[in-house]
Amino acid sequence: MKSDVFFTKITGNTIPARAGGLLKIIEGMDPFSAYKKDEFIAIKLTIGDTKCIYNTAPQLVKSVVSEIKKKKAKPFLFDTNVIYKGLRLNAVDHLTLAQNKGFAYSRIGAPFIIADGIFGQDGKEYDLKSDYIKRVRIPSFIGMLDNLVVLSHATCHILAGYAGALKNVSMGMVSKPTKQVQHSSLRPHAIEERCTGCGCCIKICPANAISFGDKSKASIEQGKCIGCGECLCACRFDAIFINWKEDKGIFLKRMTDVAAFILSRFKNRFFINLAFDITKECDCISTKNERIICSDIGILASNDIVALDKATLDLINKNEDLILKEQSQDSYKTALEYAHEKGLGNLGYNLIEL
């Protein structure tokens, strides 16, 4: 079985050219026709880190918002906090960064929300029937709304190999504890040199696994630790260590299982991949000096997340496997194949050029 993936080439690297291509996609597919008056519409995106200039442009987000508002619906933008040092570590700095990067209501026409709370621990927990990840904590509104729009900037990625719509959902739509579990099977450790002895991690630990050592520094007892990631949320001094060297195959299967659960909570799902300014590193790491791995491709969209990412990858790797060349791995194929096996979408697609 094949799914339809719509595609428009972008001939210029200007914002008007890209906005015109995005509008062509939306008009050709009419994905928002089922939206009702006053219905809340969630738009998932990432604004990139402080020094990143290649993240999704606010002007393109505004185009999506404007089309949704024509249906008298109420769109809002959202993301979740990250688990590494930076301005997206907590909601206060994250929102300030969003304002500074052009995602204010006055420019976009929709509010920007940090969906997992100030420190990234807010959300509901669910059991997953997965061999790779047992529980997931996700923002509370997931399961309460019918419609989801996922707007992703396609890039390479240090762990996943490729970052597109699937990763945007699986890692970007969960609270910090689930991010930690997806990234590492190992328990977190406290970094003595960075610990200020504030005690926040001790107060929040549900397993009573953290205590003060001889130097009034936090110490995590590995035998008691349940790997929930609460200490990661509580610490505001980057003193909790996460092991990033996870088996890539397991990491990708965890991501896929999480994405499958999240997407099952929405009735209507629409995915847009922006395949230009495709960088060697993701928007969390890249700067203005980041190397672009291929020429601009265009914009792709589909109701099938697997077919969309597969089509995007095929266009990136049209002449050679650039992802393998840049990241020295082809593990990204594992995620798509596993997602297809799990019934999340189709690997086959009809590419319809508009």
Task: Write the CATH number for 346.
Answer: 3.40.50.11440
Is pLDDT at 244 greater than 80 in this prediction?
no
Task: Write the CATH number for 225.
Answer: 3.30.70.20
Is pLDDT at 84 greater than 70 in this prediction?
yes
Model pLDDT for residues 256-306, shown as the tens digit of each residue? 999 999 999 999 999 999 999 999 988 988 888 888 898 999 999 999 999
Q: How far apart are CA 149 and CA 134, in angstroms?
A: 26
Mean pLDDT over all residues of the chain? Answer: 92
Residue 189 and residue 229 in contact, taking contact as beta carbons nearer than 8 Å: no
Across the range 198-227, mean pLDDT stands at: 86
Residues 15, 153, single domain; the answer is yes
What's the total number of domains in the chain? Answer: 2
Residues 220, 310, single domain; the answer is no
Residues 270, 345, single domain; the answer is yes
Residue 353 buriedness (CB in 10 A; 0-12 / 13-18 / 19+) = exposed
- pTM here? 0.87
Across the range 91-116, mean pLDDT stands at: 97
Residues 252, 212, single domain; the answer is no
Q: How far apart are CA 88 and CA 220, in angstroms?
A: 25
Residues 175, 62, single domain; the answer is yes
3-state DSSP assignment of residue 14: coil
Residues 196, 211, single domain; the answer is yes
Residues 61, 79, single domain; the answer is yes
Residues 201, 174, single domain; the answer is no
Domain edge (last residue) among 241, 266, 283: 241
Model pLDDT for residues 298-336, shown as the tens digit of each residue? 999 999 999 999 999 999 999 888 888 887 677 788 889
The pLDDT value recorded for residue 250 is: 85
Residues 144, 258, single domain; the answer is yes
Across the range 158-163, mean pLDDT stands at: 86
Residues 198, 276, single domain; the answer is no
Residues spanned by the domain of 296: 2-182+246-353
3-state DSSP assignment of residue 9: strand
Q: Which residues touch 68 (CB under 8 Å, ≥6 apart)? A: 32, 35, 41, 43, 75, 149
Residues 323, 346, single domain; the answer is yes
Residues 120, 235, single domain; the answer is no
